[in-house]
Amino acid sequence: MHSVTSFINYDFFGILVSNMSMKKVPEIKINKYLSFFRIAQERQKRVYDEIRENAKADFDFFIRLIFSTIIIALGLVINSSSVVIGGMLIAPLVWPILAVALAIVKGRSILLGQAAMAVVKSSLLILLVSIILGLLIPNFSLESQEILSRTQPQLYELFIALASGFIGAFVISYPRLGEAMAGVAVAAALVPPLSTVGLLIADKDLAGAGGAMLLYVSNLIAITVAATVLFFLMRFTGPSTEEAQAVQKSNIRWSLIFLGVILIPLILITSDTVRAQRQHRLVEQVVTAKVDNIDLLSIDSVQEGGVIVIEVTMRSPQNIYTYQVEELTNILSEELGESVLLKISVIPVIEAGKLVPSQDAILNDLQEATNGSFLR
């Protein structure tokens, strides 16, 4: 009986299979899979030159940045996602970030310094323009969903930024994918959160500005790290001297450290958000199941010491009595496993055209309100 031999050979596009001894377990080497990303030296030079050219903080760069910031900031104020997206398409900030990633991999200290300085200058300019707009726009609404959505960053947004940085570097490295760069500019949402910071600083909402700044910094770090990883897989290398290699390793190490540090607050915020959403759903289910003919308007909860304070606002044609509040409180405490203080505000719903209530009925309601037999 003839023995069958096979071997696995990997080329740029995939896997070519031939014969190998059945007695041997095929060994799949990760680095051979990763060779799929490797690009030729000639193309590497073109990519390097393109990124370095587009990352220059020159007059054209700053003009595009200023007007993209104006468009995006106004889109945030009027709560228009289409306007915000339009501003993202002309924002050039992704280029110096890609230059930072490329400089990290190639160990080019000069390029790294120039690109990092371009990012810093761009960030300060975006802040300045958005603060000025915030001061000039009278009484703009901070309830805009486009603004609020950027004040509480989530861990999911970090993953989006990682994907954006990876695909951004990938698109730049393949000329035939150049038309996808617009999509990368939208996905790499850097200007909107920083514009939000400026608007909220102008309105003296420092807590919201802090949340938006965290989103900007996390996106900035994630895009840089993801692009760095892809450029490393593509074998972008600089001088083979020990000094250059030491610089490269140090840059990559610090990038990963920054990513790890920014993960901590995002994980904590995401955990708090998930818990708050769970509480919100539970309160909604319990209240609507136990009280008839109500329209829930809002549910807010906050942890005060060892007690969860839950405030519920609803519309109802009837009073909510003390025994009902106590029953709801006990159920919620049991379900959440913590002490609960439930506060219910009722907006009365009165159908027009009804007869005027008797004086006795009015006095009875006032007495009940006074001695706390219902909450309003």
Looking at per-residue confidence, does 245 or 9 come out higher?
245
Looking at per-residue confidence, does 356 or 306 come out higher?
306
48: pLDDT confidence band, cut at 50, 70 and 90? confident
* Mean local confidence (pLDDT), 183-203: 81
pLDDT (0 to 100) of residue 19: 41
CA-closest candidate to residue 120, choices 101, 96, 91: 96
Q: What is the pTM of this model?
A: 0.70
Q: What is the pLDDT of residues 162-177, one digit of tens each?
A: 888 888 888 887 766 5
pLDDT (0 to 100) of residue 26: 42
Structure tokens at 107: 């160990």
Q: What is the pLDDT of residues 320-366, one digit of tens each?
A: 888 888 888 888 888 888 888 888 888 887 766 554 555 555 556 55
188 neighbors 165 (Cβ within 8 angstroms): yes
Residue 272 has pLDDT above 60, yes or no: yes
Cα angle value 79/80/82 (rounded, 5°): 160
Helices 59-77, 81-90: axis angle to 10 degrees equals 170
Lowest mean pLDDT among 77-86, 179-188, 287-296, 303-312: 179-188
338: number of CA atoms within 13 Å, CB side? 16
Looking at per-residue confidence, does 140 or 185 come out higher?
140
* Mean local confidence (pLDDT), 135-158: 80
Residue 370 has pLDDT above 70, yes or no: no
For the chain, give the percent of residues with pLDDT over 70: 76
CA-closest candidate to residue 262, choices 188, 158, 123, 192: 158
Which amino acid, one-letter code, is at 131? I
pLDDT (0 to 100) of residue 88: 86
- How far is the C-alpha of 85 from the C-alpha of 89, rounded, in Å? 6
318 neighbors 293 (Cβ within 8 angstroms): yes
- How far is the C-alpha of 364 from the C-alpha of 183, rounded, in Å? 65
Q: Where are the alpha helices (DSSP H) in 174-241?
A: 181-187, 191-202, 206-233
Listed ranges 199-213, 235-249, 337-351; the one with the highest mean pLDDT: 199-213
- How far is the C-alpha of 156 from the C-alpha of 126, rounded, in Å? 24
Tell how far CA 127 is from the center of its chain: 19
Q: What are phi and psi of 41, to 5 degrees?
A: -60, -35
